[in-house]
Amino acid sequence: MRSTNETTAKDRKETLPQPAAATQPAVSKWQELGISKNDMLEMYYQLVLARTLDERIWLLNRQGKTAFVISCAGQEATQVGFAKALKPGYDVVWPYYRSLALALSMGMTPTEVMLHQLSKAEDPSSGGRQMPAHFGLARLNMVSVSSPVATQLTQATGSGYASKLKGDDKVTYTFVGDGGTSKGDFHEALNFAAIHSLPVVFVVENNGYAISVPISKQMHIANIADRATAYGMPGVVVDGNDLLEVYRVACDATDRARRGDGPTLVEAKTYRYRPHSSSDDDRAYRTKEEVEEWRLKDPIIGFERYLEEHGLITKEGEQAVRNRAKQAVEEAQRYAEAAPNPSPDTIMRYVYAEEGQN
């Protein structure tokens, strides 16, 4: 029995000033997710590159140099997070017209994007034939964007079915807006994919609007992902502005598909900062205040803050990344502007079989 003035180690510890509670867990989320420091910085570069290229293309449209633009600004974290989880050039990707950050992160170069956007002969997507923002790239297994919304969903289910028949372990990913899920294609694609347990990941980038139509006029439920239950697959809601959280969800869906357990529906809640396209005036259907409020949740600023707080980047480092992105965009623009237009002699190419062609 100890006397009352005897202190134990425990007592002494309680009276000594204690270190402030650690503000960060011993293992940070990025480490837990198995991402290297280099990869964190590379993802940051991809976010900044997409935003920089997107803004430049918008300017080129205002200068009359490109006919049509669709912006991914605000939705970059969702796209970069998924690109990091998939195997570019092995897996199959059915993007949509807002998938610029996805395409860049998978390995499409800014020059290839510019050649497409300016409809040049060297455009690797279609030799300058397709409407701008309707890109694809064979070497990345990224299939050309279709203008009719949501058609890519049933096509993605088809390529998932092909993988199953062949017995390979490719995963098919497809991306669509909230408006696209109001189409019958969504039902058909998800239902068939679930019945056959296909390796398909359906990603909805819910930015709240189908051009001028708000989500409240499209559906009477809180989450698009809730619809997954009706088809018999997991439905996951994720903050589309949180890159690491998107990556975590993307990895889970990928693992499930790759091991043969079937499809997943992911709904990333996000926002687009620009009008629907260069032909739209968003002031007709949403307020400036609403846009400003979402801009406070800018995924790039959020990721920058995270990198700073975890000692992964300095202010100078951020500036260097911005400079690198700007230089890449300048070079891409210079090259694409100087590149030749498609020759009028080739106008029928890719439409009719040419003489001598098999």
What are the catalytic residues? 272, 276, 285
Cα separation, 79 vs 324, whole angstroms = 20
Residue with tokens 């439905």: 235
Residue type at 20 in one-letter notation: A
Query: Considering only residues 163, 207, 278, 333, which one is a binding residue for ligand TPP as defined by CB under 6 A?
Result: 207
Closest approach of ligand TPP to the CB of residue 184, in Å: 10
Pairing between strand 213-214 and 209-210?
antiparallel
Q: DSSP state, 22? A: P
Query: Considering only residues 74, 88, 177, 275, which one is a binding residue for ligand TPP as defined by CB under 6 A?
Result: 177
Cα separation, 40 vs 35, whole angstroms = 7
* Residue nearest ligand TPP (C-beta atom): 177
Size of the site for ligand TPP (CB under 6 A): 14
Cα separation, 130 vs 175, whole angstroms = 19
Q: Looking only at residues 248 through 287 of this chain, which bind ligand TPP when binding is defined by CB under 6 A? A: 276
Query: In terms of CB distance, is 256 or 274 closer to ligand TPP?
Result: 274
**Is 153 a binder of ligand TPP (CB under 6 A)?**
no
Q: DSSP state, 180? A: G
Binding mask 105-144 for ligand TPP (x = CB under 6 A): ----------------------------------------
Query: In terms of CB distance, is 133 or 329 closer to ligand TPP?
Result: 133
Query: Considering only residues 7, 147, 319, 341, which one is a binding residue for ligand TPP as defined by CB under 6 A?
Result: 147
Our CA angle for 130, 132, 135, nearest 5°, is 65
Query: In terms of CB distance, is 119 or 152 closer to ligand TPP?
Result: 152
Closest approach of ligand TPP to the CB of residue 177, in Å: 2
Closest approach of ligand TPP to the CB of residue 151, in Å: 7
- Stretch of residues binding ligand TPP (CB under 6 A), selected from 55-63, 166-174, 177-185, 239-247: 177-185
Closest approach of ligand TPP to the CB of residue 39, in Å: 27
Binding mask 50-89 for ligand TPP (x = CB under 6 A): ----------------------------------------
Query: In terms of CB distance, is 178 or 267 closer to ligand TPP?
Result: 178
Query: In terms of CB distance, is 115 or 190 closer to ligand TPP?
Result: 190
Query: Considering only residues 121, 138, 195, 211, which one is a binding residue for ligand TPP as defined by CB under 6 A?
Result: 211
Query: In terms of CB distance, is 40 or 210 closer to ligand TPP?
Result: 210
Cα separation, 58 vs 158, whole angstroms = 34
Query: Considering only residues 81, 179, 262, 299, which one is a binding residue for ligand TPP as defined by CB under 6 A?
Result: 179
343, burial (CB in 10 Å: exposed 0-12, middle 13-18, buried 19+): exposed
Residue type at 28 in one-letter notation: S
Helix (H) or strand (E) segment spanning residue 38: helix 37-62
The token duo for 333 is 């623009």
Cα separation, 306 vs 151, whole angstroms = 37
Query: In terms of CB distance, is 40 or 268 closer to ligand TPP?
Result: 268
Query: Considering only residues 57, 92, 149, 336, which one is a binding residue for ligand TPP as defined by CB under 6 A?
Result: 149
Instruction: Centre a 10 Å sphere on the Cβ of residue 203 and count the other Cβ atoms it contains.
Output: 27
- For the stretch 280-287, contacts whose Cβ atoms lie closer than 8 Å and that sit 24 or more positions apart, written own/partner, are 280/211, 280/212, 282/212, 284/212, 285/209, 285/212, 285/214, 286/209
Of 263, 243, 242, nearest in space to 189 by CA: 263
Q: Which residues pair with 201 in a beta bridge?
A: 173, 264
Q: Which residue ranges make up the site for ligand TPP (CB under 6 A)?
A: 98, 147-149, 177-180, 205, 207, 209-211, 276
